[in-house]
Amino acid sequence: MERSTAVYNHIIVSPIAGSMGAEIQGADLANLEGEVFEELYDAWLRNHVIVLRDQDITPDQQLAFALRFGEIHYHPYMQGMDDNPEILEIVKDPGDQYTFGSSWHTDQMFNPQPAKATMLYAKETPCSGGDTNFANMHDAYDALSDGMKSMLADVKSWCSGDKFKQGGRPRRKDRYAGNAKMLAKLRDPGKLQTESAHPLFRTHPETGRKALYIGNHVKSLCEFDEAEAEPLLNYLRAHSVRPEFTCRVSWEPGTLTVWDNRSVQHFAIADYNERRRMHRITIAGDTPF
């Protein structure tokens, strides 16, 4: 599925970068007609990340829009809003030390059925900074050598939601200690499965494209010794976020961005010290193959 071949009757699609991402005009999410959504969804599949500006919607309207992508995926570690449990309110105030999402990752990768999509709606944003970077994992896969693709074709990675190893990162409760509002949302996942094995190269179920499926939740490679796995993982982590694979989204109140977790990694940039408040909904996915 190529980005440049689509022609739309209701929306205007403006690419953000050469690899991925697009800004969409012509879609009012408070009154979204079926034909407009169909075009928007097609643009999302082609561009992996879509950005809609100047949207004025309520939590219920955001939820209704999210449900058009699929069922809601509830975060096993984080509590949603009291009145809208489907929505995770992400808040960072001046002085907070922890920025939610500030490492390269794909959402809910540790789940046996990771999130299909993530929808983030800006309520309050800093005057500058607080952007989000995205990286195209289809392009990252395509750029690997034939030898690397062949060697790793059937390899699975082991992913964890809390037992982080890379960089000596602390557990969730210790990381969130630097942001009291997010720490207060932390909950015990109970019996929910928060560790899973997934193909290192996954196939997109709707477009058929292969992607390098990696992120900070990857703990090891299945059936590899640690000394064997770490050099490979370090190479793939660095390779996956090469500048030519990326785009950058800036935020202002009313900006809503939807990204495809089957196609991209993302990184929240912690370069601000003002209040930032976002409403996040994740969409349930299926088992990677």
pLDDT digits (tens, 9 = 90+) for 183-236: 888 888 888 888 999 999 999 999 999 999 999 999 999 999 999 999 999 999
Residue 288 lies in a domain: no
Provide the percentage of residues in the chain whose pLDDT is more than 90: 82
Q: Is 280 annotated in the active site? A: yes
pTM for the whole thing?
0.93
Residue 38 lies in a domain: yes
- Whether 289 is in a domain gets the answer no
The verdict on whether 266 is a catalytic residue reads yes
Q: What pLDDT shows up at residue 171?
A: 67
Q: Which of 96, 107, 139, 260 is catalytic?
A: 107
If one counts the domains in the chain, the total is: 1
* Active-site residue, from 46, 73, 105, 175: 105
pLDDT computed for residue 170 by the predictor: 58
Q: Tens digit of pLDDT for each residue in 6-42?
A: 899 999 999 999 999 999 999 999 999 999 999 999 9
Domain holding 162, by residue range, is 3-283
pLDDT of 248 > 80? The answer is yes
Give the separation between CA 196 and CA 77, rounded to whole angstroms. Answer: 16
Q: Which of 202, 266, 276, 279 is catalytic?
A: 266
pLDDT digits (tens, 9 = 90+) for 102-149: 999 999 999 999 999 999 999 999 999 999 999 999 999 999 999 999
CATH number of the domain to which 119 belongs = 3.60.130.10
Residue 106 within a domain: yes
Spot the catalytic one: 46, 276, 279, 280: 280
Instruction: Tell me whether residue 270 is in a domain.
Output: yes
C-alpha to C-alpha distance for 108 and 112, rounded to whole angstroms: 9
